[in-house]
Amino acid sequence: MKVFVLLALVAAATAWPSFGSDSLQGYQSDAGTTFSLKQKQHHVNTLLWKIYDHLHDAELKEMADTFDPEADTSIYSDGGDAVHHLVQEDKDHRLLEQHHWFSLFNTRQREEALMLFDVLIHCTSWDCFVHNAAYWREHINEGEFVYALYTAVIHSKVAEGVILPPLYEVTPHMFTNSEVIMEAYAAKMKNTPGKFNMAFTGTKKNHEQRVAYFGEDIGVNTHHVTWHMDFPFWWQDSYGHHLDRKGELFFWVHHQLTARFNSERLSNWLDTVGELHWEETIVEGFAPHTMYKYGGEFPPRPDNVHFEDVDGVARVRDMLIMESRIRDAIAHGYITAKDGSHISIMDEEGIDKLGDIIESSMYSPNIQYYGQLHNLAHVMLGRQGDPHGKYNMTPGVMEHFETATRDPSFFRLHKYMDNIFKEHKDTLTPYTKEDLEFAGVSVEEIKVDGELKTFFEKYEFDLRNAVDSAEGIEEVELKAIVPRLNHNDFSFVADVNNNNDAEKLATFRIYMCPQFDNNGQEYTFDSGHWHCIEMDKFWKKLSPGSNHIVRKSSESSVTVPDVPHFQSLIDYADGKSEEVPEHYSACGIPNRMLLPKGKENGMEFALILAVTDGEYDATHDHAAESEHGGSHAHCGTHGEVYPDKRPMGFPLDRRIPDRRIYDQAPNFKYSIVKVFHGEEH
Ligand SMILES: [Cu+2]
């Protein structure tokens, strides 16, 4: 089952004294107050409603007014270290003011947000968590607060099961354009409800606009920002657990975003994306048509800009030096650690280490030497409109994970890093017959049931949190209407023979790879494998004999369903609705975008199925009985090891100099399918 069943947890929460008994001993305020999941949901809803305004809710207001974070340090697992630090910063008036923009890439602002995260993650009970959240909401910058709260709810044991509202309904400014925001302000002033159509930025004179529906999709933005919250580059294992294969996931999630962007480009008669380079012109400019809640418009970038050094961030030369050190590591086949020792990358785990140094994350074995190519690149690109800070411009869209994919240069930048990863993958030995083998198992057929058909639909989301309100004045209904890609339901259908006498656990790996480039040239297996998009990965038990496997498009472990609307979370928590919202994570490609757009007359893709030995591949027992959180392919499973032992992208992640290895492998099969796009469905 794909979703997390809240109801079961509600029951569990009332039955147990608290979650995760080991780590939660010691503190029970109010003679052992425990909170049901519904109460926790109510708290989180209230904390995130109208974040630019003071708390209205009496219970939380009381907490904010009366709580002294330092009064009882036994409520923290770090003895109160984090809270003393934050309180001191607050007393010294060093914290960023409220009603100011916040960017995670701003070092000082990030430090402040992480000071609060540090407090929340060390809370050993919900009571501590919610009191601190309520208190700091009134003391810290709103953007820092939202970031700290989201990451803490994702990673804290005491918040397990709480559903975070969709970010586009908490901070709508970051997900829609200025025109819509202005209309919402006007409607609010006139106290008149309204629904406003959001158009993708730019005009048809700009051919990049044909694929703006991908980079500006609220679900793609939510996936990207949530992934970076699930796997923060600043994460340290001292927060409580290790994030398994974070570096490799960094590679894979961005590689797949780039590959998917390319499939969308080919669907729209555009060439695949080319890489940006520090010494070359940034040909494509960008006008974001997006504004901050505080700080004005996001800065635009004209066409044909040459990279300039950015004051206080990095010089172009620094970027080239970092790149060449990383390329040296690939050429040598090893990374040089801080103490000078060599860490080999010429194996399956090499990509994980490379991901850590390129991002770079705190897992990087040598930040001093390899620098922070990815993070600095985002800021470098974000600042090209005002590299010397002459015009006091706000950070660019590239300096926020929720807005970065709006700028077409995001994909060019990631293509540049993707090519570095590819350089590494190309140095590894191509897979042999033995690597691919699954004894006694053969795929007879792979096909789809149902037409692969995409269409655009309209979707509404709530804008009430974009505008200010005053206590006692009725809210008016305000909504944005956005066009978004969707597809008809379909299923993957496979016939697989198991010629062994015993049941076998099998891993199903499904990819779709564009057949032709924009010039009509057919991709070879070797030139096309890097463009393949992952469609699904799951485990099934194969009985001896023939097995007919049907896997629904809605079940894909690459994707997630829509996050429940903020209002439905409120209705549920406040007892106004019987409906229990079900949602596990907002990390994952939106399920409605599982298929690339395709073309009116059909666009050809190779549909590839590799069935490999699940006994070897799966890292969990009962792999076939679990969906591992629902979107494990790009997002892993919270707090657990990645369910699949194989390299991400297996078996299409390495060079394929001789395709006969694949053609002759009975457990590997492909067919040609067409994706159609139309207005009706
Ligand atoms: Cu990213």
Q: How far is the CA of 467 from the centre of ligand 1 (A)?
A: 28
Question: How far apart are alpha carbons 108 and 85 in whole angstroms?
Answer: 14
Q: How far is the CA of 622 from the centre of ligand 1 (A)?
A: 32
Q: How far is the CA of 30 from the centre of ligand 1 (A)?
A: 43
Q: How far is the CA of 76 from the centre of ligand 1 (A)?
A: 32
Q: Taking the alpha carbons of 140, 144, 146, 148 in that order, is the dihedral positive or negative?
A: negative
Instruction: Say which residue the tokens 């695949």 belong to.
Output: 272
Q: How far is the CA of 3 from the centre of ligand 1 (A)?
A: 25
Q: How far is the CA of 495 from the centre of ligand 1 (A)?
A: 37
- Sorted by sequence, the CB contacts under 8 Å of residue 552 that are 6+ apart come out as 489, 490, 491
Q: How far is the CA of 222 from the centre of ligand 1 (A)?
A: 11
Predicted confidence at residue 600, as pLDDT, reads: 96
Predicted confidence at residue 13, as pLDDT, reads: 33
Predicted confidence at residue 471, as pLDDT, reads: 73
pLDDT > 90 in the chain, percent: 88
Question: How far apart are alpha carbons 170 and 178 in whole angstroms?
Answer: 16
3-state helix, strand, coil in the chain (%, to 5): 40, 15, 45
**pTM across the whole model:** 0.93
Question: How far apart are alpha carbons 570 and 577 in whole angstroms?
Answer: 9
Written as one string, the DSSP assignment of 578-628 is --------S-SEEGGGSS---BTT-EEEEEEEEEEEHHHHBSSTTGGG--T
Q: How far is the CA of 412 from the centre of ligand 1 (A)?
A: 12
Instruction: Give me the chain's average pLDDT, please.
Output: 92
Q: How far is the CA of 404 from the centre of ligand 1 (A)?
A: 8
Q: How far is the CA of 48 from the centre of ligand 1 (A)?
A: 24
Q: How far is the CA of 411 from the centre of ligand 1 (A)?
A: 10
Residue 120 pLDDT greater than 80, yes or no: yes
Residue 9 pLDDT greater than 70, yes or no: no
Q: Residue 511, SS3?
A: strand
How many Cβ atoms from other residues are within 10 Å of residue 214's Cβ? 24
- Sorted by sequence, the CB contacts under 8 Å of residue 407 that are 6+ apart come out as 215, 286, 288, 301, 381, 396, 397, 398
Predicted confidence at residue 16, as pLDDT, reads: 28
Residue 1 pLDDT greater than 60, yes or no: no
Q: How far is the CA of 376 from the centre of ligand 1 (A)?
A: 12
Predicted confidence at residue 100, as pLDDT, reads: 96
Q: How far is the CA of 255 from the centre of ligand 1 (A)?
A: 10
Q: How far is the CA of 559 from the centre of ligand 1 (A)?
A: 17
Q: How far is the CA of 14 from the centre of ligand 1 (A)?
A: 38
Q: pLDDT tens digits for 19-68?
A: 333 333 333 344 357 899 999 999 999 999 999 999 989 999 999 999 99
Q: How far is the CA of 419 from the centre of ligand 1 (A)?
A: 16
Q: How far is the CA of 524 from the centre of ligand 1 (A)?
A: 29
Q: How far is the CA of 603 from the centre of ligand 1 (A)?
A: 28
Q: How far is the CA of 357 from the centre of ligand 1 (A)?
A: 15
Q: How far is the CA of 401 from the centre of ligand 1 (A)?
A: 6
Q: How far is the CA of 65 from the centre of ligand 1 (A)?
A: 38
Q: How far is the CA of 674 from the centre of ligand 1 (A)?
A: 30
Q: How far is the CA of 223 from the centre of ligand 1 (A)?
A: 10
Q: How far is the CA of 381 from the centre of ligand 1 (A)?
A: 14
pLDDT > 70 in the chain, percent: 95
Q: How far is the CA of 402 from the centre of ligand 1 (A)?
A: 9
Residue 10 pLDDT greater than 80, yes or no: no
Predicted confidence at residue 328, as pLDDT, reads: 97
DSSP bridge pairs for 123 = 76
Q: How far is the CA of 104 from the centre of ligand 1 (A)?
A: 12
Q: How far is the CA of 608 from the centre of ligand 1 (A)?
A: 27
Q: How far is the CA of 253 from the centre of ligand 1 (A)?
A: 8
Question: How far apart are alpha carbons 580 and 564 in whole angstroms?
Answer: 10
Q: How far is the CA of 108 from the centre of ligand 1 (A)?
A: 21
Q: How far is the CA of 375 from the centre of ligand 1 (A)?
A: 9
Q: pLDDT tens digits for 441-475?
A: 999 999 999 999 999 999 999 999 999 988 778 88
Q: How far is the CA of 176 from the centre of ligand 1 (A)?
A: 19
Q: How far is the CA of 224 from the centre of ligand 1 (A)?
A: 6
Q: How far is the CA of 254 from the centre of ligand 1 (A)?
A: 6
Q: How far is the CA of 372 from the centre of ligand 1 (A)?
A: 13
Six-digit token string for 120: 């929340």
Q: pLDDT tens digits for 212-244?
A: 999 999 999 999 999 999 999 999 999 999 999
Residue 15 pLDDT greater than 60, yes or no: no
Q: How far is the CA of 408 from the centre of ligand 1 (A)?
A: 13
Q: How far is the CA of 228 from the centre of ligand 1 (A)?
A: 7
Q: How far is the CA of 229 from the centre of ligand 1 (A)?
A: 10
Residue 478 pLDDT greater than 60, yes or no: yes
Question: How far apart are alpha carbons 551 and 537 in whole angstroms?
Answer: 10
- Sorted by sequence, the CB contacts under 8 Å of residue 362 that are 6+ apart come out as 233, 234, 235, 236
* Confidence class for position 639, pLDDT limits 50, 70, 90: confident
Predicted confidence at residue 26, as pLDDT, reads: 32
Q: How far is the CA of 17 from the centre of ligand 1 (A)?
A: 39
Q: How far is the CA of 456 from the centre of ligand 1 (A)?
A: 25
